[in-house]
Structure 1
Amino acid sequence: MGDDRRLDVLRAIVEDYVATREPVGSRALSERHRLGVSPATIRNDMAALEDAGLIVQPHTSAGRVPTDKGYRTFVDQLAQVRALSAAERRAIGTLLEDAVDLDDVVDRAVRLLAQLTHQVAVVQYPSLRRSALRHVELVPVGARHLLVVIITATGRVEQRTLELAQDVDEDAVARLRLHLNAVAVGLRLSDLDGVRDSLACQLGEAERLLVEPVVTVLAETLAQESEERLVVAGTASLARTAPADFARSIGPVLEALEEQVVLLKLLSEMAEDGSAVAVRIGRENRHEGLVETSVVSTGYGDGHAVARIGSVGPLRQDYPGTIAAVRAVARYLTRILAG
């Protein structure tokens, strides 16, 4: 739609339908919004919007409601996202800054987003594959066993035990730990190729015997795919407060939300959208159970998205408010994990 006035009419229809849960008529638009035209002109604009597939009349003599295409046009035309209140921003900062570890941060973030949106919130754990190293600890745990503790910049902690071909030389382990943290901290999986050669040039024979197995287990751990998982909150609230038209399809939605592989695939696809905040509306969500929902998501991570956070709710929702909440929690997550 290239006509600004008709886009204003569409925007008014979406806002009223979200607020009232009732089909919107031309008289209501004329009374509630300063559109600057007569009711007759509004009716003509609504007819044009209907011909374009952006609104539809659910019943004879009823008002109009937005279609999936109408919601998409509305979201694409958003000039600005509603800012969170000062109280909401303080609540986000206070709750997340009190977290004690990564599990606590993720758990608090998902519950907070669900409370802000009154919808289902999903937070993806930071991916090891995309995370940078913060520290590597090497701990002898027996004559020929070495515990490798990997701490990422996002706070994830992974432990692996190595069985060595020779007895552990604790002095060599200490020297390797020192050099390994000097050359590998801040690197991601894609950057580790040169670490072996770099360490081999700097270390003696005893340390070089440890370099290959330690760097190999480091790379294998960061390359894992099996660790990808989500935390979900708000399903009970959504089921309890869902509008009547959405409640009729809540069963397939809840079933889809239980399948983490479905959500992970969807978030991965949304990461490729190239938008700061991606929105999938209705049948843009290819999984059958989610065709009556809209999903809003964005990435989080300091300068490099390591995972995504999002909200799943009905087609009829406060898009500016949901986008603002998802974006705000993601920003706080980024700040907390980077600290």
Structure 2
Amino acid sequence: MLTPRRIEIFKAIVDEFVQTAEPVGSKTLMEKYQLPYSSATIRNDMMVLEEMGLLEKTHTSSGRVPSTKGYKFYCEHLMEHKLEHQLEVAVRQQLASKPLNLDDAIRESCNILSQMTNLTSGVLGPDASRQRLEHVKLFPISNRSAVAVFITDLGHTENRTFQFDDDLSVEDIQTCCQILNDRLKGTLIKDVVDKMDSIKPILAAHVKRHEMLFQAFVNAFVKFASENVYFSGQNNMLYQPEFADIEKLKELMAMMENPSLWRQIGMTANSELALKMNKNAQLVWVNDMAVVTSKFKLGGDEEGQLMVFGPSRMDYDRIVSLLELVSQSIESLYGKGGSHE
């Protein structure tokens, strides 16, 4: 049974372990947290909390550490949303002070999160699998370079810069775009690359340097259709004691190279190891690692997702509040009706 005293002891253990990464014993709780209970009482309650699955005992110490179930209980019932007012003002000013385009603002948000949490942050762009190609525009920069702009039916745009080995005429570029728009409009982004093969003979009949343009567009569409993900602060993981194990660090790095995995993590709200918060945040625990996510809307059906991830031993109170603040700031600045819309 969870009595007020056991909850007080449990919360102190979580707070102490988050700060030190060291198993917590009854002596520390009595001296540092000045709990008004005897050492025997605290040890007995720690045993009960362990039996309930909220604490775990390590092999190297008589102290206890929070379990994944314990972290989930803490975040659901004991977490305090805390964020210093000065920090809140600083974050809002940093995002609002620069006339950034949306992509740059989202990347800057990731950088802010990784710097302020000392963890790794990431962002998932809008899911292109549901979107259809609306229009392609190609703007020549020189005889050997051009910028392509892809626009979807949901208003999402992607830019790609092409570098060519040989000179291309403006006429070839314009003809290529016209053929792509005529043949690909309304095609699901994920199906565009497959459909390009049927267009190749048409390009060959009307465009002199068709091979070069064809390959450039195929490469661009492959990148557009793939999951759009950006990470910041990967090196922060090197300073977390939980990732001193090189095998665990390799496993984490492999996860970062699998963008679709992160979108799946964001869709596990009903999992036993997931917790949906009151506002926009969600927490998921995977292999002794915690992933905190928060979605932001950009108008229409478009949305992105910010995330902070690291060891389960993290300052949830501060990180959840900070993530929600940054997510809401992006919405207010770049969402529908935002000042940078």
When the two structures are superposed, what TM-score results if normalisation uses the length of structure 2? 0.67
Q: CA RMSD in A?
A: 3.7
CA contact (8 A) 1:55 1:64 kept: yes
Question: Which amino acid in the other structure matches residue 240 of structure 2?
Answer: A
User: In the TM superposition, what is the alpha-carbon distance from 1:111 to its structure 2 partner?
Assistant: 0.9
CA contact (8 A) 1:148 1:162 kept: no
Alignment of 1:163-174 (within 5 A): 163=179
- Alpha carbons of structure 1 residues 154 and 98: separation in structure 2 relative to 1, 3 Å: farther
User: In the TM superposition, what is the alpha-carbon distance from 1:261 to its structure 2 partner?
Assistant: 2.3
CA contact (8 A) 1:82 1:321 kept: yes
Question: Which amino acid in the other structure matches residue 322 of structure 1?
Answer: I
CA contact (8 A) 1:119 1:235 kept: yes
- Alpha carbons of structure 1 residues 118 and 148: separation in structure 2 relative to 1, 3 Å: closer
Alignment-derived partner of residue 157 in structure 2? 156
Alignment-derived partner of residue 208 in structure 2? none
Alignment-derived partner of residue 91 in structure 1? 91
Determine the C-alpha separation between the residues in 1 that align with 2:138 and 2:64: 70
CA contact (8 A) 2:121 2:308 kept: yes
The alignment status of 1:234 with 2:202, answered yes or no, reads: no
Alignment-derived partner of residue 320 in structure 1? 317
Q: Deviations over 1:263-300 (max 9, x none)?
A: 2322233599754311112xxx2xxxxx1311100111
User: In the TM superposition, what is the alpha-carbon distance from 1:46 to its structure 2 partner?
Assistant: 0.7
Determine the C-alpha separation between the residues in 1 that align with 2:321 and 2:190: 32
CA contact (8 A) 1:122 1:232 kept: yes
CA contact (8 A) 2:129 2:188 kept: no
Determine the C-alpha separation between the residues in 2 that align with 1:24 and 1:163: 67
SS of 1:268's partner is coil
SS of 1:333's partner is helix
CA contact (8 A) 2:79 2:317 kept: no
Determine the C-alpha separation between the residues in 1 that align with 2:13 and 2:313: 11
The alignment status of 1:250 with 2:222, answered yes or no, reads: no
The alignment status of 1:293 with 2:289, answered yes or no, reads: yes
SS of 1:18's partner is helix
User: In the TM superposition, what is the alpha-carbon distance from 1:25 to its structure 2 partner?
Assistant: 1.1
Q: Deviations over 1:77-107 (max 9, x none)?
A: 1343112441353234324541421221122
Q: Deviations over 1:191-229 (max 9, x none)?
A: xxxxxxxxxxxxxxxxxxx9xx69x82574599882531
SS of 2:40's partner is helix
The alignment status of 1:45 with 2:45, answered yes or no, reads: yes
Determine the C-alpha separation between the residues in 2 that align with 1:257 and 1:75: 25
User: In the TM superposition, what is the alpha-carbon distance from 1:157 to its structure 2 partner?
Assistant: 4.7
- Alpha carbons of structure 1 residues 94 and 48: separation in structure 2 relative to 1, 3 Å: same
CA contact (8 A) 1:82 1:324 kept: yes
Alignment-derived partner of residue 14 in structure 2? 14
Q: Deviations over 1:224-281 (max 9, x none)?
A: 8825311011111222x112x3321222112211222222322233599754311112
- Alpha carbons of structure 1 residues 61 and 271: separation in structure 2 relative to 1, 3 Å: closer
Alignment-derived partner of residue 337 in structure 1? 334
- Alpha carbons of structure 1 residues 20 and 154: separation in structure 2 relative to 1, 3 Å: farther
Gaps of 5+ in 2: 140-147, 161-175, 193-223
Question: Which amino acid in the other structure matches residue 163 of structure 1?
Answer: I
CA contact (8 A) 1:297 1:308 kept: yes
The alignment status of 1:71 with 2:71, answered yes or no, reads: yes
Question: Which amino acid in the other structure matches residue 157 of structure 2?
Answer: R
CA contact (8 A) 2:14 2:66 kept: yes
SS of 1:331's partner is helix
SS of 2:268's partner is helix
SS of 1:269's partner is coil
CA contact (8 A) 2:91 2:326 kept: no
Q: Deviations over 1:110-167 (max 9, x none)?
A: 1111111111101111345789xxxx989899xxxxx997488887357994439xxx
Determine the C-alpha separation between the residues in 1 that align with 2:40 and 2:105: 54
Question: Which amino acid in the other structure matches residue 29 of structure 1?
Answer: L
Question: Which amino acid in the other structure matches residue 80 of structure 2?
Answer: Q
SS of 2:332's partner is helix
When the two structures are superposed, what TM-score results if normalisation uses the length of structure 1? 0.68
SS of 1:309's partner is strand
CA contact (8 A) 2:82 2:317 kept: yes
The alignment status of 1:277 with 2:288, answered yes or no, reads: no
Question: Which amino acid in the other structure matches residue 283 of structure 2?
Answer: V
Q: Deviations over 1:26-54 (max 9, x none)?
A: 12212333545433322221110011122
Determine the C-alpha separation between the residues in 1 that align with 2:149 and 2:41: 71
Gaps of 5+ in 1: 142-146, 165-209, 286-290
CA contact (8 A) 1:93 1:332 kept: no
Determine the C-alpha separation between the residues in 2 that align with 1:57 and 1:101: 49
The alignment status of 1:306 with 2:322, answered yes or no, reads: no
Alignment-derived partner of residue 111 in structure 2? 111
Alignment-derived partner of residue 266 in structure 2? 267
- Alpha carbons of structure 1 residues 61 and 20: separation in structure 2 relative to 1, 3 Å: closer
User: In the TM superposition, what is the alpha-carbon distance from 1:305 to its structure 2 partner?
Assistant: 6.7
Determine the C-alpha separation between the residues in 2 that align with 1:163 and 1:100: 33
